Chain A
Amino acid sequence: MLFIDDEIQYSELTKEYLEMKGCRVLLKHDGQAGLDAFKAQPFDLCVLDIKMPKKDGFTLAEEIKQIDETIPIVFLTGQSLKEDKIKGLMLGADDYLTKPFSMEELYLRIRAILKRVKVHEKTPATDLYEWGHSRFDPELRQLVVSGETIKLTSIEAKLLKLFCEHQNKVLTRDVAMIGIWGDEEHYRGYSLNVYVSKLRKFLKADPAVEILNLHGEGYKLIFKPGAA
């Protein structure tokens, strides 16, 4: 998260506290430095003091929202003025803390916001892939080919999803293996061929699709126009 507060003492210790709780925090002490930091890298959330040198928190929030309108913002203020709260909320603030604030309270509020944001991120419209006589639902790990429903294993579904994301493009062995097994220790090059063969077998009944071997490179899933 990006934390911008000109009160050096308390903010440094708050950063330390949040880091002890497992947060990754970049701390800046004025509005301009905060904006520069925001432009330089992505953040999950911003905590902004309102009264700061060079650029106040409200102006900064407006500029941040112009760059990323979905970024959650928590305002900190030394005043409990109703107008400030309203202005902050109008700017899209997700929460508001009046100074002096408890570090634990800030942490709990940040955690609640991030939890809420993650719930929203986890519920996008489900990707469905359709071609020729086939339909693939990665979420359900279900492939329907010419009316026959095939329940895929987790690895088969991951691989087919990668193929769909790279349709008519090269899917290299490295990208496929990292996409399926993650880190290098779990590379299982020998079995990738086995899973590709299984997918070919499943898709055999659909003439509109084919998985090609590209020697020394990887594979390519192609759709054949007019074959359906």
Chain B
Amino acid sequence: MDLSLLHNLMGGDQHLVDRFVVIFKTQVPAQVATLPELCEAKDWEALSTALHSLKTQFSYVGMSELAEEMRSLEEKVDIGQTDDISLQIGNFTREFQLSWQP
């Protein structure tokens, strides 16, 4: 995590930054866990919204590779390239859960 961007965005308020990180660590894994369900339900609109939200959150904490991965998946969903999206989401979710260290 690189919190320098967040620090700037929050006007240097360390209290707000700390709170964001606490909430981020709780909520992001839960949001990631919903992605396969949305794929299975073929709820592309909700999937796109969830990816969009995750993209911004990863970018807030300097996780730019994950943010880019979310952006790419969101774009595929938005243009209807959903043939192999379940596979890609499944891979991402597994990797994220394995590497995630709260």
Residues of A in contact with B (beta carbons under 8 Å apart): 6-10, 12-13, 16-17, 51-53, 78, 99-104
Q: With A and B bound together, what is the CA distance between A9 and B24 in angstroms?
A: 7
Residues of B in contact with A (beta carbons under 8 Å apart): 5, 8-11, 13, 16, 19-20, 23-24, 27, 45-46, 48-49, 52-53, 55-57, 59-60
Residue of A nearest to B16 (CB): A13
Query: Chain A contacts of B11 at CB under 8 A?
Result: 17, 102-104
State the Cβ distance, B71 to closest chain A Cβ, in Å: 9
Query: Chain B contacts of A78 at CB under 8 A?
Result: 52, 55-56
Residue of A nearest to B70 (CB): A78
Query: Chain B contacts of A100 at CB under 8 A?
Result: 5, 9, 56, 59-60
Q: With A and B bound together, what is the CA distance between A101 and B8 in angstroms?
A: 10
Q: With A and B bound together, what is the CA distance between A161 and B23 in angstroms?
A: 54
| B49 adjacent to A10 (CB under 8 Å) | no
A–B pairs, 30, beta carbons within 8 Å: A7-B53, A7-B56, A8-B27, A9-B20, A9-B57, A10-B56, A10-B57, A10-B60, A12-B23, A13-B10, A13-B20, A13-B23, A17-B10, A17-B13, A51-B48, A51-B49, A51-B52, A53-B45, A53-B46, A78-B52, A78-B55, A78-B56, A100-B5, A100-B9, A102-B8, A102-B9, A103-B9, A103-B10, A103-B16, A104-B11
